[in-house]
């Protein structure tokens, strides 16, 4: 029995990823193994890989500029100002249920905005969350719930709203790869396709808030929590005093915050009218430089920090595009599709469930939804066509298969980000308190509602 080269490449890539080999190396080794088994030879395999890399360069550049914009926003002090405002309201209002649920809503909104309106990804978490830990402790809020709140915003927004990171995931990666694989995407609404899976995520959020983690949980009041809280309050007070007493003093907090908001609006409007996230980020960063929030002598370091923030995601996405191109070049996708079609015997329900399950495993392994799409689209599109799925259902399957596993993956930004803010005092375990709760509350409903979308669309 001949082993299918595409299947072997995916198995090798997944096995290495789960064994904690770096994702980029896992993708490269898997691609080479698949190319050699298909008889391409090392030269043809690498040529195909390099051709795929070129397809991901524009996406990676968009990520780099988004990273620079995110660091500039953090440099302006806007996240710290938000944290200070929240703490002051909590200090004034005590620990009422209204305060608590307003705080929950604010965290979800900030997480959502970090993917589109203020596209800074997870950069806001280590700035906004640590100063709030003392308040969380005082209200006896279970930090597993906070992890679920943040992860909901990080994942649901990009998989449902085609703006910011959602534009990259839904339009630049998913629709692009689906179109290249053979489906007419001109009349497809990605929002309509992903509405049912997004509803599953929302039900998971409600379950976490009102059922799973509604009971109080006590944490120790540590010095590090008080210091983080006091640092934000002191900074706010110092800025207020200086702005009132020194008319020619260096630029202070409130003015920087206003400029940050102006930069965000500028980036939003530019992207809206040019349909280019890259241009939006560039113009937003330019506002910070023109106003002196980011000084010319600091521009290089801020830009470099932003590239570092997003570089790993960009490299993984570029490598995933190379992997997908090699899989196409092997010519063994069609035999794999034929074998899978015979295996499912035309049963769309089983086929949809298996495709979603494979997406869960792939994303859990490599830790990036954005990198999963190029890998699965090349295989899933022909399979969906052969089984009779509609174009809208096909997009729903692929989009959900990519998002599945982002929440709940130990290597994903969607779990690493919340842990980075919640564990500064050593009282939040990454696996038990971030990975497992988000896996249960989001992957299970996403799998179920993604399957429903595949069946009804």
What is the per-residue pLDDT across 375-408, written as a single tens digit (0 to 9) for each? 788 888 888 888 889 999 999 999 998 888 888 7
Higher per-residue pLDDT: 204 or 412: 204
Is a pLDDT exceeding 60 seen at residue 156?
yes
Residues of the chain with pLDDT > 70: what percent? 85
Per-residue pLDDT band at 244 (split at 50, 70, 90) = very low
Is a pLDDT exceeding 70 seen at residue 253?
no
Per-residue pLDDT band at 197 (split at 50, 70, 90) = very high
Point out the least confidently predicted range of 12-21, 42-51, 343-352: 12-21
Q: What's the number of CA atoms in the CB half-sphere (13 Å) around residue 145? A: 24
Is a pLDDT exceeding 80 seen at residue 194?
yes
User: What is the mean pLDDT of the segment spanning 213-225?
Assistant: 83
Tokens standing for residue 356: 């979603």
User: What is the mean pLDDT of the segment spanning 86-99?
Assistant: 71
Per-residue pLDDT band at 210 (split at 50, 70, 90) = very high
User: What is the mean pLDDT of the segment spanning 301-307?
Assistant: 76
pLDDT digits (tens, 9 = 90+) for 52-83: 787 667 767 777 777 777 778 777 777 667 77
pLDDT digits (tens, 9 = 90+) for 414-440: 887 888 888 888 888 888 898 889 999
Is a pLDDT exceeding 90 seen at residue 445?
yes
Is a pLDDT exceeding 80 seen at residue 100?
yes
Is a pLDDT exceeding 80 seen at residue 41?
yes
Which pLDDT score, from 0 to 100, does residue 69 have? Answer: 78
Is a pLDDT exceeding 60 seen at residue 187?
yes
What radius of gyration, in Å, describes the C-alpha atoms of the chain?
23
DSSP letter for each residue of 42-106: HHHHHHHHHHHHHHHHHHHHHHHHHHHHHHHHHHHTHHHHHHHHHHHHHHHHTT-HHHHHHHHHH
Which pLDDT score, from 0 to 100, does residue 59 have? Answer: 67
Chain centroid to CA 78:
21
Which pLDDT score, from 0 to 100, does residue 252 have? Answer: 57
User: What is the mean pLDDT of the segment spanning 351-379?
Assistant: 79
Most confident of 96-110, 185-199, 270-284: 185-199
What is the average pLDDT value for the chain, to the nearest integer? 80
Which pLDDT score, from 0 to 100, does residue 243 have? Answer: 45
Chain centroid to CA 69:
16
Per-residue pLDDT band at 248 (split at 50, 70, 90) = very low
How far is CA 78 from each of CA 41, 241, 255, 362, rounded to the nearest angstrom? 53, 18, 10, 36
Is a pLDDT exceeding 90 seen at residue 150?
yes
b/e burial code for range 127-145 (CB count within 10 A of at least 16 → b): bbbbbbbbbbbebebbbbb
Which pLDDT score, from 0 to 100, does residue 313 have? Answer: 65
Which pLDDT score, from 0 to 100, does residue 398 have? Answer: 92
Which pLDDT score, from 0 to 100, does residue 144 have? Answer: 93
Point out the least confidently predicted range of 131-135, 185-189, 251-255, 291-295: 251-255
Is a pLDDT exceeding 70 seen at residue 310?
no
Most confident of 169-183, 285-299, 355-369: 169-183
Which pLDDT score, from 0 to 100, does residue 268 have? Answer: 78
- Domain locations in the chain? 5-214+222-456
Cβ–Cβ < 8 Å for 282, 307? no
DSSP letter for each residue of 153-207: HHHHHHHH--STHHIIIIIIIIIHHHHHTT---TT--HHHHHHHHHHHHHHHHHH
Q: Which of 170, 173, 165 is nearest to 195 (CA)?
A: 170
b/e burial code for range 224-260 (CB count within 10 A of at least 16 → b): ebeebbeebeebbeebeeeeeeeeeeeebbebbbebb
Longest Cα–Cα distance of the chain, Å, equals: 82
Residues of the chain with pLDDT > 90: what percent? 16
Higher per-residue pLDDT: 309 or 258: 258
Which pLDDT score, from 0 to 100, does residue 152 have? Answer: 94
Per-residue pLDDT band at 242 (split at 50, 70, 90) = very low
Alpha helices in 183-332 (DSSP H): 190-207, 223-245, 253-274, 277-291, 296-330
Higher per-residue pLDDT: 385 or 2: 385
**Other CB atoms closer than 10 Å to residue 296's CB: what's the count?**
8
């Amino acid at each position: 029995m001949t082993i299918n080269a595409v299947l072997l490449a995916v198995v090798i890539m997944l096995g290495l990823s789960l064994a904690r080999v770096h994702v980029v190396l896992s993708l490269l080794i898997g691609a080479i193994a698949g190319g050699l088994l298909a008889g391409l030879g090392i030269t043809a395999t690498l040529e195909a890989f390099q051709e795929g890399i070129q397809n991901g360069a524009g996406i990676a550049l968009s990520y780099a500029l988004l990273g620079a914009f995110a660091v500039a926003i953090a440099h302006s002090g806007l996240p710290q100002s938000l944290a200070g405002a929240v703490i002051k309201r909590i200090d004034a209002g005590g620990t009422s249920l209204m305060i608590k649920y307003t705080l929950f809503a604010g965290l979800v909104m900030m997480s959502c905005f970090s993917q589109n309106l203020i596209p800074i990804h997870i950069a806001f978490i280590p700035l906004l969350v640590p100063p709030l830990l003392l308040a969380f402790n005082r209200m006896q809020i279970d930090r597993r719930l906070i992890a679920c709140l943040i992860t909901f915003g990080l994942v649901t927004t990009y998989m449902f709203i085609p703006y910011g990171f959602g534009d990259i995931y839904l339009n630049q990666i998913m629709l692009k790869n689906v179109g290249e694989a053979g489906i007419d995407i001109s009349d497809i609404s990605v929002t309509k396709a992903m509405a049912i899976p997004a509803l599953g995520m929302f039900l998971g959020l409600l379950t976490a808030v009102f059922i799973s983690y509604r009971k109080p949980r006590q944490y120790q009041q540590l010095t590090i929590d008080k210091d983080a809280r006091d640092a934000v309050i002191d900074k706010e007070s110092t800025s207020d005093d200086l702005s009132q007493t020194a008319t020619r003093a260096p630029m202070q907090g409130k003015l920087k915050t206003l400029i940050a908001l102006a930069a965000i609006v500028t980036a939003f409007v530019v992207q809206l009218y040019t349909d280019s996230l890259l241009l939006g980020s560039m113009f937003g960063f330019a506002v910070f430089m023109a106003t002196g929030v980011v000084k010319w002598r600091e521009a290089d370091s801020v830009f470099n920090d932003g590239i570092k923030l997003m570089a790993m995601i960009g490299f993984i996405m570029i490598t995933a595009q190379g992997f997908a191109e090699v899989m196409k070049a092997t010519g063994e996708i069609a035999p794999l599709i034929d074998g899978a079609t015979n295996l499912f015997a035309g049963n769309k329900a089983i086929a949809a469930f298996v495709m979603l399950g494979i997406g869960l495993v792939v994303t859990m392994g490599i830790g990036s939804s954005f990198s999963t799409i190029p890998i699965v689209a090349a295989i899933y599109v022909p399979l969906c066509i052969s089984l009779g799925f509609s174009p809208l259902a096909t997009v729903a399957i692929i989009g959900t298969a990519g998002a599945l596993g982002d929440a709940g993956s130990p290597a994903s930004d969607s779990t690493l980000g919340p842990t980075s803010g919640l564990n500064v005092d050593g009282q939040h375990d990454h696996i038990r308190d971030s990975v497992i709760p988000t896996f249960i509350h989001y992957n299970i409903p996403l799998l179920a509602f993604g399957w429903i979308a595949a069946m009804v669309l």
